[in-house]
Amino acid sequence: MPITVLKVIIVYINAIGFCCCFRNDASLVGKTADIPAIAKYFSTKGRYEEVNPYLIDDILAVNRSILQPPSAQCRQIHLTAVIRHGTRYPTTKNVKKMQKLYDLVKSSAAGKDSWLREIQTQWTMWYTEDMDGRLVQKGVNDHKHLAVRLSKLFPSLISEEKLRGGFIKFITSSKHRCVNSTLSFKAGLTELWGITDQEFDHTVNDALMRFFDKCTKFVEEVENNSSALVEVDKFKQGPEMRRVQEKIADRLGVPYSLITDDMAEAAFYLCAYEFAINTVNSPWCRLFDEVDGQVMEYANDLKHYWKRAYGYDINSKSSCILFHDLFSRLDKAANDVRSDQQVTEAVTIQVGHAETLLPLLTLLGFFKDNDPLTSTNYASQTGRSFRTSDMLPYAANLVLVLYDCGGGDLRLQPLLNEKPVAFPGLTNKKDRMPLYQDVKDHYRELLRGCDFETVCQLFKHTAEV
Ligand X SMILES: *[C@@H]1O[C@H](CO)[C@@H](O)[C@H](O)[C@H]1NC(C)=O
Q: Which residues are catalytic?
A: 85
- Taking alpha carbons only, the member of 147, 128, 157 closest to residue 192 is 147
Q: How far is the CB of 121 from ligand X (least distance, A)?
A: 32
User: Is the Cβ–Cβ distance between 432 and 420 less than 8 Å?
Assistant: yes
For residue 292, give Cα distances in angstroms to 240, 247, 287, 357, 423. 9, 9, 9, 27, 33
Q: Which is nearer to ligand X, 73 or 224 (CB)?
A: 224
Start-to-end C-alpha separation, the chain: 82
Three-state secondary structure call for residue 119: helix
Q: How far is the CB of 333 from ligand X (least distance, A)?
A: 26
Positions in the binding site for ligand X (CB under 6 A): 63, 65-66, 134-135, 176-177, 180, 183, 219-221, 224-225, 227-228
- Taking alpha carbons only, the member of 82, 115, 49 closest to residue 351 is 82
- Taking alpha carbons only, the member of 300, 310, 321, 362 closest to residue 213 is 321
Q: Which is nearer to ligand X, 94 or 180 (CB)?
A: 180
Q: How far is the CB of 230 from ligand X (least distance, A)?
A: 7
Q: Which is nearer to ligand X, 206 or 331 (CB)?
A: 206
Residue type, position 333, single letter: A
For residue 288, give Cα distances in angstroms to 29, 57, 119, 284, 371. 23, 27, 15, 8, 28
Q: Which is nearer to ligand X, 78 or 411 (CB)?
A: 411
- Taking alpha carbons only, the member of 203, 175, 207, 170 closest to residue 188 is 170
Distance CA 342, CA 409 (A): 17
Q: How far is the CB of 70 from ligand X (least distance, A)?
A: 15
Q: How far is the CB of 158 from ligand X (least distance, A)?
A: 20
Angle of helix 176-192 versus helix 3-32 axis, rounded to 10: 120
